[in-house]
């Protein structure tokens, strides 16, 4: 059983020039591979600024667009598993916020559309309404790398504990969330939520943010890897950087054995997530 993998999280700068964004991402993927990354991940909206006024202009069909091509070529060239952050995806007259995953042959092995759209209103803080322009996905998505089952979510999805629980119940040991929290919610919730999902479900949680910009939607940064004990293994600052962490899925089994909450749940008293229909 191969349960160990070196993850590299690319917290790249994202600007208005799509070609430049792709070039920069491609260069950083090569660097991450050089430093031993096997599972390399990009942030939410790595090809486009994050904002409802940009999604339409930057949306691409998957796998036909230039971003998919760069991801496929990079995965194949460097013989890596590549989490393609997210891009605005055009499908007919709909736009989704979509994460793709590519294997070392350059084939797309998973595609996930953000299920929970980021619609919030914090007066004096941030108001955002993804649903003005985006459609929500309706399907959970998992894939296997070595012997590690991995579940996907995108940013706001990490706030929904049922989603993480369903992934855990389906056997996931690692959850990956490309995400771009902001200067209001980032300091309050970014680390807390990830440690909560990791601790509740006794699995690794990885998040990848864009680097902090200066104008428009300002991302919080601080890409993070949390282990199944809830401990933060690696955390970026807010500028462009790559962080690395060694993940060993056996660690999940250890925690689950030593603190066996999975078998201790009182489903005779509460029965919430276990009755949901999981679509994975
Ligand atoms: N941008 C998001 O999807 C989520 C976010 O910033 C938050 O939940 O806060």
SS3 94: strand
Predicted pLDDT at 274: 61
Q: How far, in Å, CA of 8 to CA of 225, rounded? A: 10
Please indicate whether residue 214 is annotated as part of the active site: no
pLDDT tens for the 280 residues of the chain, in order: 799 999 999 999 999 999 999 999 999 999 999 999 999 999 999 999 999 999 999 999 999 999 999 999 999 999 999 999 999 999 999 999 999 999 999 999 999 999 999 999 999 999 999 999 999 999 999 999 999 999 999 999 999 999 999 999 999 999 999 999 999 999 999 999 999 999 999 999 999 999 999 999 999 999 999 999 999 999 999 999 999 999 999 999 999 999 999 999 998 898 777 666 665 6
- Structural domain of 77: 4-279
CA of 155 to the centre of ligand 1 (A): 6
Q: Which DSSP symbol is given to 36? A: T
Which residue puts its alpha carbon closest to atom 2 of ligand 1?
156
Ligand 1 binding pocket mutation candidate from 44, 118, 153 (most atoms within 8 A of CB): 118
pLDDT of amino acid 270: 86
CA-based nearest residue to 8, from 16, 97, 25: 25
Other Cβ atoms within 10 Å of 40 Cβ, number: 29
Q: Which residues pair with 94 in a beta bridge?
A: 91
Would residue 44 show up in a list of annotated catalytic residues for this protein? yes
Task: Specify whether the CB–CB gap between 141 and 110 falls below 8 A.
Answer: yes
Which pLDDT belongs to residue 243? 98
* Residue 211 CA to ligand 1 centre (angstroms): 15
- Coil, strand or helix at 214: coil
Length of the chain: 280
At residue 278, the pLDDT reads 61
12, 13, 44, 89: the active-site residue: 44
Q: Quick check: ipTM above 0.90?
A: yes
Domain count, the chain: 1
Identify which of 82, 93, 94, 139 has the alpha carbon closest to the alpha carbon of residue 116: 139
pLDDT at 63: 98
Give yes or no: 262 in active site: no
For atom 3 of ligand 1, which residue has the closest CA?
156
Kindly name the residue from 155, 165, 173, 191 that is annotated as catalytic: 155
Ligand 1 pocket, Cβ-based, cut-off 6 angstroms: 118, 155-156, 159, 180-182, 185
Q: Measured in whole angstroms, how far is the alpha carbon of residue 241 from the centre of its chain?
A: 17
* Domain of residue 32, CATH code: 3.60.110.10
User: pLDDT value at position 275?
Assistant: 61
Show the CA angle centred on residue 254, arms to residues 141 and 274, nearest 5°.
45
Query: Can you give the pLDDT at residue 52?
Result: 97
From 111, 114, 165, 235, active-site residue: 114
Give distance in angstroms: CA of 268 to centre of ligand 1: 34
What pLDDT shows up at residue 276?
62
Dump the DSSP string for 193-249. HHHHHHHHHTSEEEEE-PPP-SSSS-B----EEE-TTS-EEEE--SSSEEEEEEEET
Ligand 1 centre to CA of 278 (Å) is 24
Q: How far apart are CA 178 and CA 155, in angstroms?
A: 6
């Amino acid at each position: 059983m191969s349960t160990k993998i070196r993850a590299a999280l690319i917290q790249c700068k994202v600007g208005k020039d799509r070609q430049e964004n792709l070039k920069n991402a491609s260069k950083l993927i090569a660097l991450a591979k050089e430093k031993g990354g096997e599972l390399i991940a990009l942030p939410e909206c790595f090809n486009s600024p994050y904002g409802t006024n940009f999604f339409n202009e930057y949306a691409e069909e998957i796998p036909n667009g230039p971003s998919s091509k760069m991801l496929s070529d990079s995965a194949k060239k460097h013989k890596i598993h590549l989490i393609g952050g997210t891009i605005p995806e055009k499908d007919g007259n709909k736009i989704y916020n979509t994460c793709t995953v590519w294997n070392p042959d350059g084939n797309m092995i998973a595609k996930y559309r953000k299920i929970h759209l980021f619609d919030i209103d914090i007066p004096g803080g941030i108001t955002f309404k993804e649903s003005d322009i985006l459609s929500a996905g309706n399907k959970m998505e998992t894939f296997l790398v070595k012997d590690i089952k991995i579940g996907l979510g995108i940013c706001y999805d990490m706030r929904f504990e049922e989603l993480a629980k369903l992934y855990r119940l389906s056997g996931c040991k690692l959850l990956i969330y490309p995400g771009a929290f902001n200067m209001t919610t980032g300091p309050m919730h970014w680390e807390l939520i990830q440690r909560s999902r990791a601790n509740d479900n006794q699995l690794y949680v990885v998040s990848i943010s864009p680097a902090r910009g200066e104008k428009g939607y300002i991302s919080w940064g601080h890409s993070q890897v949390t282990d199944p004990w809830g401990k933060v293994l690696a955390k970026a600052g807010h500028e462009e950087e790559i962080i690395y962490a060694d993940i060993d899925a056996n660690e999940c089994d250890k925690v689950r054995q030593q603190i066996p909450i999975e078998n201790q749940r009182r489903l005779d008293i509460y029965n919430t997530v276990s009755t949901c229909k999981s679509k994975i």
